[in-house]
Amino acid sequence: MPTALRVHHLAVVVDDMDRALSFWRDALGLELAGIRDVPEQASQVAFLPAGEAEIELVRPTSGDSGVARYLAKRGPGMHHICMSVDDLSGTLERLAAQGVRLINPEPMASADGRRYAFVHPESTGGVLLELYQA
Amino acid sequence: MPTALRVHHLAVVVDDMDRALSFWRDALGLELAGIRDVPEQASQVAFLPAGEAEIELVRPTSGDSGVARYLAKRGPGMHHICMSVDDLSGTLERLAAQGVRLINPEPMASADGRRYAFVHPESTGGVLLELYQA
């Protein structure tokens, strides 16, 4: 098994950040490591480490983003799982060769340079899965 | 922050275990630590460790269980997040005192003796959350 293959974060779409933080931070006791705007995703994201993984609370900041449409259609809740991998490009090639449906067949790069790609829920058993270059 | 507060497992409801394993085990490369029937949940569960957390694939084995109804209503996908806590009873008391809606106000015990309780999605931002006594 690739050594880096582990749960990196869980993204939860919320409509009310203060209310979500009142549970995950204030009631449950997770630490809020930071909260910041992510303009390229039209979202505000709160980062709450939980062991080696992290809970990310994602609140859309405009009505026409993918996350906003998800929230409008399905309501608040789990958006995706992210797992880190050793070799993102190699993993994507291997998955494609096995017939896995990839939303991003090639790695994408976020504004801060991290590389990621999404796997379609059709191939995972209904879970939107992000793979992240460790 | 309580030291044990971390992601313990992610439960994914699937309708076809072989197809789900062909992704999570064969294509992605997770190890299948075990697969077993859980009669009290009318399910078959596959356990795939991923770092300190675990992906659990849950397939209903009868049509009238909670998991089967979930699958029929929402299709395959994320069912719940489980986080481990140091002091389950104390955590439940503290959550209740802060107005959090608990599905199990007192710890439940599984057939193998582990103690757990579920928090209602209404209080978490739409996520069904299991808390597990570490």
Contact B53 A51 (CB under 8 A): yes
Whether the CB of B45 is below 8 Å from some CB of chain A: the reply is no
pTM (2 d.p.): 0.93
Question: Which residue in chain B is spatially nearest to A97 when comparing CA positions?
Answer: B27
Give B117 to chain A, closest Cα distance, Å: 13
A77 confidence band (pLDDT: 50, 70, 90): very high
Q: Is A10 exposed, middle or buried (0-12, 13-18, 19+ CB in 10 A)?
A: buried
Residue type, A62: S
Q: Which of B79, B74, B60 is nearest to B11 (CA)?
A: B79
Put simply, the chain A residues between 11 and 40 with a CB less than 8 A from any chain B CB are: 12-14, 19-20, 22-24, 26-31
Return the pLDDT at A2: 52
Whether the CB of B122 is below 8 Å from some CB of chain A: the reply is no
User: Which residues make Cβ contacts (< 8 Å) with residue B74, sequence separation at least 6?
Assistant: none
Residue with tokens 């630590």, as numbered in its chain: B33
Return the pLDDT at B123: 95
Residue type, A17: M
Mean pLDDT in residue range B114-128:
96
Characterize B58-93 residue by residue with b for buried, 16 or more Cβ atoms within 10 angstroms of its Cβ, and e for exposed: bbbbeeebebbebbeeeebbbbbbbbbbeebeebbe
Better-predicted residue by pLDDT, B112 or A26: A26
Average model confidence (pLDDT) for chain A?
94
Question: Which residue in chain B is spatially nearest to A20 when comparing CA positions?
Answer: B125
Contact B51 A7 (CB under 8 A): yes
Spatial strand order in the sheet of A115-119: A34-38, A43-50, A53-60, A6-13, A77-85, A129-133, A115-119, A108-109
Please say whether the structural domain A6-133 has been given the CATH code 3.10.180.10: yes
Give me Rg for the CA atoms of chain B.
Answer: 15
Residue type, B129: L
pLDDT digits (tens, 9 = 90+) for B47-103: 999 999 999 999 999 988 889 999 999 999 999 999 999 999 999 999 999 999 999
